[in-house]
Amino acid sequence: MALMKARRAATVAGTWLNETVSFFVFCLFDIIDPLLCLVYKVADYLFEAEWKPCYCLSAKEPITTTRGKILLSQNNGESKILTLSPLQELSGRSKIELEDISETLYTRPSLLSDLSNLSVKVTRSDSKCSDHHDKTKNKRKRSITKSSLTVNFTVVEMLRGKIKPQNLSHEVSRWSDCDCGFCTSWASTSDKDHSLFVKTQIPNEITAKEDVLFIHGFISSSAFWTETVFPSLLASSSPYRLFAVDLLGFGKSPKPADSLYTLREHIEMIEKSVLHKHNVKSFHIVAHSLGCILALGLAARHGNLIKSLTLLAPPYYPVPEGEAEPRQYVMKKVAPRKVWPPIALGASMACWYEHISRTICLLICKHHRLWQFIANLLTRNNRTVNFLIEGFMCHTHNAAWHTLHNIICGTGSKLDTYLDIVRDKLKCNVTIFHGGDDELIPIECSYSIKQRIPRARVKVIKKKDHITMVVGRQDEFARELQEIWKTSSC
């Protein structure tokens, strides 16, 4: 009994310490990020001879956008409409709607602001509980039928620079991005369409039975699969044709400076680079982390082609009924602004602070060859460490920032629609794997999908985390995959 009380007291003390330290650390970050904004404004002008817009809040009045029209409310009281859609060509390869752009890109309240708003909400809820509930419900209902965004003049400048019916920008990299041959290999290829980098594995001496698409997670690459599961499947004489893609902006795939890296762009690039290019008629999908969102998006679009869905650590955070800001809700779940565990600190810095995250990319991604050299020395050229570092560091800040917000945070309640389609219109098997020690994505995310899709099967890999649920047990995982595919083909 005394031991239990001591543990409980230690847990409470640890939680309190984490909350306290986190508050002061992130308040400091709230000050540092705007200062870094000024530093990068000057640096961009010196190195690139032009000012680069960012998503920092403007002192001017906000702009409200509805159904593709942007209303500019100026200080003198005059207003004018700037039309950016219904649909406009993006880089000649895809189309984009303003609904694809997450407001978390440009609306990220400071910690003090968040606490202030929370206290106001609590006070109001005590006095006007029922009235507040009705208004919130009506607001939620209106948001479903009519999407709107709130942005500022800087955001409009940024969107106008990216949403344009011009050819793909040939700007390979910014001064703060890596310009090595690996990171810019897509710009030197003869492929004028700039398709994704796709690693294909065909069975030896036998005809391919079926196709399988592998999709990696956030700040990763196709090597997550090709260095682990692919060799195991090849050794077992697996009769499947395997495709592993580097997502847009990651690995050896194109990293266009004029892309917003929306869900639509990512899915259309996969369709063009794999399904159309390789004449894929039906296929299994294996996806990890962020890739699970893209997998569900593909399943919603190609339901009749999907033979099975295997999701690893899906980042699904159910949005409560009546939540007025679903994307903000998801962002706070993904990045809770805590210093412990360290992975939560990293996610929070990457998600909440545009310029701090750019600084991290400048220090790590731009100099990834140095870090890889040091890692190889320390680990004696350990192959696993090498490909993990390569996947983690070979991307641009522009790609990581927009993908994080427009895919993970931006899907919000949209994932509910995808899951409902899989449940009601697809008959394929759905299998979910989750590491029991995963500190990045809580295991509740997988069980929430199970609640949404009752036929889904959840398997918890004990004593494994977000990465080691595959890396280190690839032979066993390959056998599990083949059993899933075999069962789904019956």
Catalytic residues: 216, 289, 438, 466
Among residues 266, 316, 300, which one has the least CA distance to residue 432? Answer: 316
- The enclosing H or E element of 240 equals strand 240-245
What backbone torsions phi and psi does residue 57 show, to the nearest 5 degrees? -70, 145
For residue 301, give both structure tokens.
Answer: 């679009």
Relative to beta strand 210-215, strand 240-245 is: parallel
- Residue 85 is classified by DSSP as -
Decide: 173 and 222 in contact? Cβ < 8 Å: no
Residue type for position 15? T
For residue 384, give both structure tokens.
Answer: 């696993």
Residue type for position 310? T
Please give the torsion angle defined by the CA atoms of residues 106, 110, 111 and 114, in that order, rounded to the nearest 10 degrees.
-70
- Around Cβ 437, how many Cβ atoms within 10 Å? 14
**Contacts by residues 201-205 (CB-CB < 8 Å, ≥ 24 positions apart):** 201/226, 201/230, 201/233, 201/234, 201/241, 201/242, 201/244, 202/241, 203/234, 203/237, 203/238, 203/239, 203/240, 203/241, 204/234, 204/237
Residue type for position 253? S
ω before 231 within 30° of 0 (cis)?
no
Alpha-carbon span 403 to 260, nearest angstrom: 8
- The enclosing H or E element of 459 equals strand 457-461
Among residues 23, 32, 21, which one has the least CA distance to residue 358? Answer: 32
Alpha-carbon span 250 to 260, nearest angstrom: 14
Decide: 486 and 450 in contact? Cβ < 8 Å: no
DSSP 350-397: HHH-HHHHHHHHHHHTTTHHHHHHHHHHHHTS-HHHHHHHHHHHSB-H
Alpha-carbon span 263 to 271, nearest angstrom: 12
Among residues 65, 347, 39, which one has the least CA distance to residue 175? Answer: 39
Exposed/middle/buried for 327, CB within 10 Å: 0-12, 13-18, 19+?
A: buried
Decide: 314 and 292 in contact? Cβ < 8 Å: yes
Contact residues for 201 (Cβ-Cβ < 8 A; gap 6+): 226, 230, 233, 234, 241, 242, 244
Alpha-carbon span 263 to 407, nearest angstrom: 6
